[in-house]
Structure 1
């Protein structure tokens, strides 16, 4: 099953139908719970190494970074990451918004000066996202789904864009596993809606396998 860019086109999501997919949603939740629990246990040595590296580079800063994101139905929750930026990154953001490199309700900057040396490495290999396994375990996120946006980003969403909030957000998704930062916001939304319209157990496994590959062979994460 291979993703093709030509498949990306405007899509209308039948939200009520998605909510009625009880069998798929049950299997997805069971898989998410078991996989996230095993992942947290197996990856605990890596968590320790990353935590030490972050503290050595910046002893005053915290190891983890949490941020309010909006999930399914625009419900807010606290999302966790390894801290990859300087401690006052949020305060510096206002000064950098003018340098945003993507159009639409999303901020991306290739040479973001707020990112630390350790941060560059863990971002490149998506290691900074691993603490979100806790969000998956708690049922706030899924392993696969659209990335959860910031409240300020959703304020700029059109009704079409808000369709990506019809399902539970994911640690990874079709966008991250394929084109990632090589496309803008509008293309990202279309890719997320393509995933939602086609999602299934086999499609989720496909995205997970693609994600594992890019953790060893990064596809433009920054």
Structure 2
């Protein structure tokens, strides 16, 4: 390999075909574009699958980055032209690889590709979405077509609607519950809660029991102490 080839950044973008998290593809797009900005790839490599692979190609086109797609010729894992052969071509062609996977993925194809690329000397970055399940809403469509929503705090179900929904959900961790629903082939999706914003000062003040008058008194005392210190310094730090 020449110095020119060695210096080239060939970035493979691989990952899950589908996600439980409804915001995952938007988040993934931000991650991919951020990687483009920082790493400045000369070429993007993709396995051509739906989901993250396709997203990588779409964004490469958007930014004018050349790309290569390795598509399987047959829809089976092993054998000539299968997924395994396609994944090895991706792994062998890249110097960097970014894997963005569903937290609850039931397969490990893109993970296997990333492992193989790393064994061949590529730098690997792995991202799991959602990164956290601390707060949000889990929704599932049950067999009788009823949609059940579960409010999650601290990673566990604290409330189920409609009232009288599956009581066994209460207190369950999101990860365990999603796996169980997937095993039952029930459609499920995760809606993360928006980040908490800092509370406004009036609210904090009220919670601390600080009324406007008391705050004003404390502020006057503080300013008086500052003024006294300034005068003391002007006198050379001498007392009296």
In the superposition, the TM-score normalised over structure 1's length comes to: 0.24
> Would you tell me which structure has more strand in proportion to its own residues?
2
Name the structure with the higher helix share: 1
Structure with bigger gyration radius: 2
- Give the TM-score normalised by structure 2: 0.22
